[in-house]
Chain A
C-alpha cells in the first residue's frame, strides 16, 4: 500500500462548479500537508499548505485536513478553465532527519467553459 493515495481522475467539470480533490494517507507521522498544481509539461508549483487539522482558505481555494481520519481535501470554488491542471497532494513528517515530501499520484482536472 502506498503511503499516500489519490484518485488519478480525470475529473471533468463545467466552469463555475465546486471541485473536491482528496487524498488519504497511512503514516500518522505526517504533520505538514501541501497541494501542488502542475500544468501540462511544467513542474509542480505550491498552491497551499497547512500544518494542522481544520480548514485553511485562500481565495477560491480551501484546504482541509482531518488527521483523525488521515484524509485531506482541496476545494475549488467557482472553478475556471485556467484551473485545468493536475493537482498533487504532498506530505512531510517534519522530521529533523529528512525534508522529503511524499506525493500522491495527482488528480487531473479539466474545467470546460
Chain B
C-alpha cells in the first residue's frame, strides 16, 4: 500500500469491553511498531515485531494489552477489559528492514475513547 493504514480510525467503547485495533503496514516492511500517544505528549512505545516475532513488549502497560502479527504483515493490538485510562491515540509504524536506524513510517492512528 501507499502508507501505513489503521482501522478503525475512531473507536468508542464502554468500560470493561474488549477492543481490537488493526494495523496494515507498508507492503514488504519487516518491522512493525505500536505506540500510544496521549494528548500533548509524544508517542510512547508499546511493542514491536520483526516479521511475525514479537521482539520487545516491554512497553505494554499490563497483561490486558496484547499484540500479534501472525503472518508477518497485518498486526492486531488487543485491549481486554478496557478502562478509562486506556483512552488515547494508538499509532502503528513500520520500517523496511528491521534495523533500528531505519525510518519508521507512522499511520494515522486509532483514537480510542473508553466511556
A contacts, CB < 8 Å to B: 4, 6, 8, 32, 42-46, 49, 51, 88, 90, 92, 94-95, 97-106
Q: Do residues B100 and A95 form an inter-chain contact, with CB atoms below 8 A?
A: yes
- Point out the residues of chain B lying under 8 angstroms from A43, CB to CB: 4, 91, 93, 106-109
Q: Do residues B56 and A99 form an inter-chain contact, with CB atoms below 8 A?
A: yes
Q: Do residues B42 and A106 form an inter-chain contact, with CB atoms below 8 A?
A: yes
Q: Do residues A6 and B56 form an inter-chain contact, with CB atoms below 8 A?
A: no
Given known contacts A8-B40, A44-B43, what 5 new A-B pairs fall within 8 Å (CB)?
A43-B93, A97-B55, A99-B55, A101-B43, A106-B41
The answer for the CA separation of A69 and B48 in the assembled complex, in Å, is 30
Shortest CB distance A72–B (Å): 14
B44: interface (CB < 8 Å): yes
The answer for the CA separation of A98 and B99 in the assembled complex, in Å, is 9
Candidates A49, A100, A103; contact of B42 at CB < 8 Å: A103
The answer for the CA separation of A6 and B48 in the assembled complex, in Å, is 24
Contact status of A97 and B56, CB under 8 A, knowing A43-B107, A46-B103, A46-B104: yes
**Can you offer 6 A-B residue contacts whose CB atoms are under 8 A?**
A6-B42, A90-B42, A94-B100, A99-B99, A101-B45, A103-B42
Q: Residue of B at shortest CB range from A100?
A: B45
Shortest CB distance A105–B (Å): 5
Q: Residue of A at shortest CB range from B92?
A: A43
B51: interface (CB < 8 Å): no
